[in-house]
Amino acid sequence: MKTILFFLGLFGYCFAQLPVSGKVIDQNGNPVFAVNVVLKADPSQGTLTDLDGAFQWDKLKKNDTLLVVFPAYQSYQITFSEVLENQPLLIKLKEKALSLEEVQIRARTPIADQFSVIKLKKLDIYLNPVSAADPLRAITSLPSSTNTNESANPSLRGSAAGRTRVVVNGVPIYSPVRNTQINGLGTFSLFNTELLDAQYVFASNPPLTFGNSSGGLVQIETQKELKKNSWQLSMSLASVGFFRNQQLGEKSFLQVYGNYQFSAAFTGIQPNSLGFLKSFGTRDVGLHLRTALNSNWSFSLMSYGIAEDYEVETEVYSYKGLATGDKIRSFHVAGLDWQGKSSGLAIRAGWDGSQSNYAYGNIKSHTKTVQEYASLSYKNFLNRKWTLQVGANYDGYGRSFDDTTSVYFFALDPSSPYQAIDTLARRPLLEGHTYVKFEPSESLHLAAGLRTNVPLGELDPFLSFQFSARQELGNGHSILLSGGRYHSYTVPGFFFRGTELLESNQVAIDYSYEGELSQATFAIFGKKENGLQNDDFFFIRRADIFGLEGSIQQELGRYSRFTLASTYLIHQIRFNVEGDVFKGSRDLPIFLKSGLSINPPKLFSINISYIGRPGTVFTAIDGGNFRNDLNAYEPIFNTEVNAERLPAYHNISVGLSKYKLTSYGSLVAFLSVNNVLNRRNPLAPLYNREYDSLDYAILSLRTFYFGLIWEINGK
């Protein structure tokens, strides 16, 4: 009988059903609703948590294991032995580790993504009324752009263009514009918008993942995927060109393009508007290749070559003559990326070489420039909240000058004295950085960075540091606070051939709002810049900058958009760190930019833009002393530095375009009119030979430009 009872007892033990109950909470202690609590061996048996995260299951048997399953959380197991009668369980779910795809997306996105003031996509640039489809020109319509010379070379928040860096796929490209010495033409960048995936603008506080910037930073990332094969053919008043998009299998694509730019027709039909410009021409070709080598490795290459020449009538002080120049340049940016389960490695290599000639009066300059760049960076996604990046880079820049320059800055006539100066300038820059990002929630992003160099050659050592914090306030509002100390070296140029260390202490608060029909931004910032740099005609050692910026963008009906941006900028300079304070060349009590786009689909698209500001400051010349030895007048400068202002700048431009779908692709016809009001916008003061009469060198008057772009869809 006892035996029977024993077996019955054993039978009863084996088939005993223990009630199990508990509560499921997340990492913050909040109850999790709708969690599956199922038998591991038979997931069709189980229960779910209620709205309080509570569950109850009465049928747990010996050897059973319960699985607690909920999307985005790691599964949790409960074994029979863990369950105590009448003792509810408390189960804390942990977030799942990052998936490979999530890691890949995060790896593709720049680590400092959230801290850029603005991110421009390809369409933003094409729809921008002042961009002329050029990525760097698109920046000039932003309130943070403080360019005063119609150049595409970005000057951001009052800093000189030389302090701001343009980085393409992780490699810095110095002097990223073409025809840099043709005043008034409206220069363009070296980059083709068709290649672009995104352009991040850091108006100040450049992320220390990149080096050698003490102003702002423009980060250009090229396309990661190609949507279709196509041919694009373009023809305009001054150029013809082609662009080919070609997929190479499923994981690779190639983009190839070329343009030939000529001036005869452009200058021929409007000689009075471009009287100073005698001729120009460029020939450029480029390619962009991207390929996934396997699931972990990918490779990209961007190669570009350009040859350009020009003739411009130029007036400097009291000498007027023809300036001629030509340049041949080629750069290559290569990237190799490895992506692991929670980390990524990026290797970058860049080479940029150019050779140029310039002649004006008694100046003759022949320069050769070579830049070599290599970097290695490692990014680790510790979890969803923490990301760490460390890296090192070498940025070698060398420039040789084989020049004759005028002995006296005001005596440029070919008969005036000149001297031969051959210089070899080198800047071997070896740097390392650490950057850490912490995102405690989806709406709060914090980051800090450090960057330092290994002083090679005669370079001074430095330590840069920064912090950034962005808080999303909900309903489209966000605020960004950033600050830090930044360093860069001057790029050896014709006027200053040294490699001076520049420092900048910056702080900025940026607010932005993005609503359904409106967008708005507001910023307040301050900078203290140290180091020997040129500001217009002067070499200065310190600049203090304070600024306020605001902008609005409003949709007006279904097909119209209005934008208005305004900047208030105080720019003060000192010749010595503690010396007297003077106004700087970008001291602008107001800088207005406005645009109106009207795009009714059945009619023409119309873009109207306006840019207005006071003239830039300059130091007056009160007269001249005739020098018999030079056969020239020597200017006598007023002692009040930068006390005068050029007349105000106002430019209204209009663009018209018509997009037409065709059976083979599309056709776009465009017409643009720059400086519609034909205003004589001043560029610089200009004197007669005796310095007793003041006039102004002017930017281009009203000019017309038109053309066609024909896109043919390929297979």
In our burial notation (b when 16+ CB lie closer than 10 A, e otherwise), range 590-624 reads ebebbbbbbbeeeeebbbbbbbbbebbbbbbbeeb
Site track for other proteins across 619-658, x = CB under 8 A: ----------------------------------------
The structure tokens 């519609």 sit at 676
Minimum distance from residue 15 beta carbon to other proteins (Å): 20
Q: Looking at beta carbons only, is 153 or 512 nearer to other proteins?
A: 512
End-to-end Cα distance, the chain: 87
What does the alpha-carbon distance between residue 584 and residue 462 come to, in Å, rounded to a whole number? Answer: 26
In the list 294, 557, 629, 639, the residue contacting other proteins (rule: CB under 8 A) is: 557
Of the listed pieces 232-240, 551-559, 648-656, 670-678, which binds other proteins according to CB under 8 A?
Answer: 551-559
Site residues (CB under 8 A) for other proteins, limited to 59-78: 69, 71-72
What does the alpha-carbon distance between residue 304 and residue 225 come to, in Å, rounded to a whole number? Answer: 20
In the list 327, 561, 571, 586, the residue contacting other proteins (rule: CB under 8 A) is: 561
Q: Looking at beta carbons only, is 104 or 534 nearer to other proteins?
A: 104
What does the alpha-carbon distance between residue 53 and residue 73 come to, in Å, rounded to a whole number? Answer: 14
Work out whether 21 is an interface residue with other proteins (CB under 8 A): no
Which contacts (CB < 8 Å, 24+ apart) does range 656-662 have? 656/604, 656/605, 656/606, 656/607, 657/604, 657/605, 657/607, 658/604, 658/605, 659/605
DSSP-derived pairing of the beta strands 343-360 and 363-381: antiparallel
Structure tokens at 583: 């106004």
What does the alpha-carbon distance between residue 543 and residue 540 come to, in Å, rounded to a whole number? Answer: 8
Of the listed pieces 1-9, 543-551, 554-562, 575-583, which binds other proteins according to CB under 8 A?
Answer: 554-562
Q: Looking at beta carbons only, is 404 or 666 nearer to other proteins?
A: 666
Q: Looking at beta carbons only, is 234 or 530 nearer to other proteins?
A: 234
Work out whether 292 is an interface residue with other proteins (CB under 8 A): no
Structure tokens at 535: 């500001």
Determine the size of the site formed for other proteins (CB under 8 A). 52
Site residues (CB under 8 A) for other proteins, limited to 198-257: 227-228
Work out whether 45 is an interface residue with other proteins (CB under 8 A): yes
Minimum distance from residue 563 beta carbon to other proteins (Å): 12
Site residues (CB under 8 A) for other proteins, limited to 594-623: 597, 599, 601
What does the alpha-carbon distance between residue 182 and residue 304 come to, in Å, rounded to a whole number? Answer: 21
Of the listed pieces 133-141, 375-383, 612-620, 659-667, which binds other proteins according to CB under 8 A?
Answer: 659-667
Q: What values do phi and psi take at 689, rounded to 5?
A: -60, -35
In the list 12, 19, 52, 626, the residue contacting other proteins (rule: CB under 8 A) is: 52
Q: Looking at beta carbons only, is 5 or 123 nearer to other proteins?
A: 123
Site residues (CB under 8 A) for other proteins, limited to 509-528: 516-517
Which contacts (CB < 8 Å, 24+ apart) does range 502-506 have? 502/163, 502/214, 502/529, 502/530, 502/531, 502/532, 502/533, 503/214, 503/462, 503/529, 503/530, 503/531, 504/159, 504/163, 504/214, 504/215, 504/528, 504/529, 504/530, 506/204, 506/205, 506/482
The structure tokens 């396997």 sit at 294
Structure tokens at 473: 């306030």
Minimum distance from residue 715 beta carbon to other proteins (Å): 11
Site track for other proteins across 127-166, x = CB under 8 A: x---------------------------------------
Work out whether 197 is an interface residue with other proteins (CB under 8 A): no
Site track for other proteins across 472-511, x = CB under 8 A: --xx------------------------------------
Of the listed pieces 34-42, 353-361, 374-382, 538-546, which binds other proteins according to CB under 8 A?
Answer: 34-42
Minimum distance from residue 47 beta carbon to other proteins (Å): 4
Q: Looking at beta carbons only, is 225 or 578 nearer to other proteins?
A: 225
Site residues (CB under 8 A) for other proteins, limited to 456-475: 474-475
Work out whether 661 is an interface residue with other proteins (CB under 8 A): yes
Bridge partner list, 247: 253
Please choose, from the candidates 224, 110, 203, 188, the residue with its C-alpha nearest in 3D space to the C-alpha of residue 565.
203
In the list 398, 550, 612, 665, the residue contacting other proteins (rule: CB under 8 A) is: 665
Q: Looking at beta carbons only, is 380 or 553 nearer to other proteins?
A: 553
Q: Looking at beta carbons only, is 442 or 580 nearer to other proteins?
A: 442
Q: Looking at beta carbons only, is 330 or 554 nearer to other proteins?
A: 554
Q: Looking at beta carbons only, is 612 or 665 nearer to other proteins?
A: 665
Of the listed pieces 14-22, 395-403, 479-487, 556-564, which binds other proteins according to CB under 8 A?
Answer: 556-564
Please choose, from the candidates 243, 63, 155, the residue with its C-alpha nearest in 3D space to the C-alpha of residue 586.
155
Query: What is the SS3 assignment for 560-628?
Result: EEEEEEEEEEEEEEECCCCCCCEECCCCEEEEEEEEEEECCCCCCEEEEEEEEECCCEECCEEEEEEEC
Residue by residue, DSSP assigns 432-472 as EEEEEEEEEETTEEEEEEEEEEE--TTPPP-EEEEEEEEEE
Minimum distance from residue 111 beta carbon to other proteins (Å): 16
Work out whether 443 is an interface residue with other proteins (CB under 8 A): yes
Please choose, from the candidates 279, 242, 188, the residue with its C-alpha nearest in 3D space to the C-alpha of residue 708.
242
Q: Which residues contact 246 (CB under 8 A, 6 or more apart)?
A: 226, 229, 253, 254, 255, 256, 714
Structure tokens at 249: 């299998």
Work out whether 17 is an interface residue with other proteins (CB under 8 A): no
Minimum distance from residue 586 beta carbon to other proteins (Å): 32
Q: Looking at beta carbons only, is 108 or 645 nearer to other proteins?
A: 108
In the list 442, 578, 580, 629, the residue contacting other proteins (rule: CB under 8 A) is: 442
Q: Looking at beta carbons only, is 69 or 671 nearer to other proteins?
A: 69
In the list 20, 22, 24, 46, the residue contacting other proteins (rule: CB under 8 A) is: 46
In the list 81, 86, 272, 441, the residue contacting other proteins (rule: CB under 8 A) is: 441
What is the DSSP code (8-state) at residue 9?
Answer: H
Q: What values do phi and psi take at 31, rounded to 5?
A: -65, 140
What does the alpha-carbon distance between residue 368 and residue 645 come to, in Å, rounded to a whole number? Answer: 37
Work out whether 48 is an interface residue with other proteins (CB under 8 A): yes
Q: What type of residue is 708?
A: L
Minimum distance from residue 106 beta carbon to other proteins (Å): 8
Q: Looking at beta carbons only, is 384 or 702 nearer to other proteins?
A: 384
CA distances from 336 to 9, 226, 296, 325 (A): 68, 19, 10, 37
Minimum distance from residue 123 beta carbon to other proteins (Å): 5
Please choose, from the candidates 189, 203, 202, the residue with its C-alpha nearest in 3D space to the C-alpha of residue 134.
189
Provide the Cα torsion 109, 110, 115, 118; round to 10°.
-70
Site residues (CB under 8 A) for other proteins, limited to 94-133: 96, 99, 101-102, 104-105, 121, 123-124, 127
| Burial zone of 661 (CB within 10 Å; 0-12 exposed, 13-18 middle, 19+ buried) | exposed
In the list 21, 23, 47, 303, the residue contacting other proteins (rule: CB under 8 A) is: 47
Positions that interact with other proteins (CB under 8 A): 31, 33-34, 36, 38, 43-48, 50-52, 56-57, 69, 71-72, 96, 99, 101-102, 104-105, 121, 123-124, 127, 227-228, 441-443, 474-475, 516-517, 555, 557-561, 597, 599, 601, 661, 665-666, 711, 713
